[in-house]
Amino acid sequence: MSEFSLFNAADECLAPYISARSFDESLILNLLFQQRILLHEAYFFNSSLVADHINRACGAPSLFEFAARRGLIIPAFRDKNSIALEQAYQAMKREGVYGRSYDLLSPAMQPLRDRLVASVDIGLQKVRPFYWPTRDEEGESLGDGYSRVIRRLLQQDEPPAYVRHDEKRAQLFDRVWELSKRWRYDCIEQAAARTQQKGAKGLQRFEIFCTLGWLVGIPQHNTTISVADILMRCEDEEEKLAMEIFLKWVTQCHHLNQAQTFGTAINFPVYNMEQDFIVDSLLRSPADLPPPPSEGFRCEVKLPPVDVMLKAGAADVVSIRDDLGCGYLAALTRWQNGPTDENREAAISSLKDYCDQICARYERGILQTLLVDYIKGKTSPIKMMRDAGVTLTGKAIPLLGTFVNVAQSACVFYRFTRSSKLKSRLNPKTRELEVTLPC
């Protein structure tokens, strides 16, 4: 069984729909509850979501960089001769595997390129990179797999049956299914023909975007076409809605095909993304029933708020995995290698215990960190309470001066930590987590 989880939240095509919080939440959940994270090689260079995450870390490595240095974030290389991300980058540029007109390095990532590459290559000194499975002349390529997934899910008279489990979702699918019929059939077939005309196999998402872009009026000499470019040319709001959802479906098929080809789990499907993105998901979502026991499990646990975990720092997040997650990760591996009912139940039990330990650690550690920073003068009393979500009305807290004032201020702080607003801000929240076997 694969030790990897495909991290599809880094895909640039999802950038309009994934907030910084959702990206961070997906990253933290993958790092805490999966063995290792796998990223398509191109995402390290063209993802504004990754670039934004790195830029938001001030004076310390971002969680993404820190985890990469530890060998927890691994690139999926097409070139079997690449042993480092820098080599893969040069191979992608030299061979033009994503098209001669494709701009591999995005402007957002350009100033961060060396910083990110160095972090990943440090990690690759500890673990081996992942290589795309070798296909012989008779075998199915990644493009063949994408064509198969697209046709199976999109070229049908009716949408997948599981969308009927949520009434709002079913109504939306029925509406868009009819509006997208031309795109699901004619445009897909045109894109497949263009893919094969240039010597590639199956179907490429790049060609789907080109075909759709030209259909809505983008000049055909333009072959670098984004989601925003296509949506901007739609005739009216109804077409724009249908096109936006269709482009999400095309991208979700792209992720599913990668996971199936690489033999990995597909990200961490149940996390708190915007509700509309859940409802219009082509793949099974939190709006659906849990996966069957033969494929995975879903359970309720308590976890601290994501923004609280992020403020603790990248090193602390990874140390929690190291200090508290060994038992759960061992149970996860045992279930993946032997997916029996007994092993699944043991994995669920270990997961719940692991989450309880995470909550206990944060309930102690965060309050202590705030107090130490306050006493050392690293933050003002007012700012500290405001950051913690406490509003001060008519109460003045003197600045630290003598030891007596420190003690008195510490008592004031302790009283505020017991306030309902602060407890609500820091208390763990109940949420559903889902873990699935590799595709």
Q: Within this chain, do residues 83 and 147 fall inside the same structural domain, yes or no?
A: no
Closest to 38 in 3D by CA, of 63, 6, 83, 2: 6
More confident residue, 411 or 403: 411
Q: Is the pLDDT of residue 136 over 60?
A: no
- Is 8 a residue whose pLDDT tops 70? yes
Residues 128 and 153 in one domain: no
Q: Could you tell me if residue 271 is inside a domain?
A: no
Average pLDDT over residues 149-157: 96
Percentage of the chain beyond pLDDT 70 is: 80
φ/ψ (deg, to 5) at 131: -115, 140
Question: Is there a single domain that holds both residue 118 and residue 146?
Answer: no
pLDDT at 403: 42
Mean predicted confidence (pLDDT) in 140-155: 94
Query: What value does the mean pLDDT take over residues 404-419?
Result: 52
Q: Is the pLDDT of residue 355 over 80?
A: yes
Same domain (yes/no): 60, 78:
yes
Domain annotation covers residue 268: no
Domain end marker among 132, 152, 187: 132
Same domain, 252 and 154: yes
Picking from 132, 159, 176, the residue at the C-terminal end of a domain is: 132
User: Does 287 map to a domain?
Assistant: no
300 and 433 in a common domain: yes
Domain membership of residue 410 (yes or no) is yes
Statement to judge: residues 127 and 197 lie in one domain: no
My answer on whether 246 and 339 are in the same domain is no
- Give 179 or 367, the one with higher predicted confidence: 179
Position 371 confidence tier, pLDDT thresholds 50, 70, 90: low
Window from 246-260, 377-391, 394-408 with minimum mean pLDDT: 394-408
Structure confidence by residue, pLDDT tens digits, 97-122: 655 556 788 999 999 999 999 999 99
User: Residue 373 falls within a domain, yes or no?
Assistant: yes
Domain membership of residue 277 (yes or no) is no
Domain limit, last residue, from 132, 155, 178: 132
The whole-number average pLDDT for the span 282-307 is 86
- Tell me the average pLDDT across 257-269: 81
| Look-up of token digits 């109504």 | 171
Based on the structure, what is the number of domains in the chain? Answer: 3
Domain enclosing residue 308, as ranges: 295-439
The reply to whether 417 and 334 lie within a common domain is yes
Q: Quick check: 134 pLDDT over 80?
A: no
Q: 368 falls in which pLDDT band (50, 70, 90)?
A: low
Flag the least confident range among 171-180, 269-278, 357-366: 269-278
432 and 309 in a single domain? The answer is yes
**C-beta neighbour count of 432 within 10 angstroms:** 13
pLDDT in tens, 218-237: 999 888 899 999 999 999 99
Specify whether 323 is located in the same domain as 372: yes
Give the C-alpha separation, 110 to 246, whole Å: 30
- For residue 85, how many C-alpha atoms fall within 13 Å in the half-sphere facing its CB? 28
Same domain, yes or no, for 125 and 206?
Answer: no
What pLDDT, on the 0 to 100 scale, is given for residue 31?
94
Task: Give a yes or no: residue 267 inside a domain.
Answer: no
d(CA 215, CA 363): 55
Whether 407 is in a domain gets the answer yes
Under the banding of pLDDT at 50, 70 and 90, the label for residue 198 is confident
Interval 372-396: pLDDT, tens: 555 555 555 555 555 544 444 434 3
Q: What is the mean pLDDT of residues 267-274?
A: 50
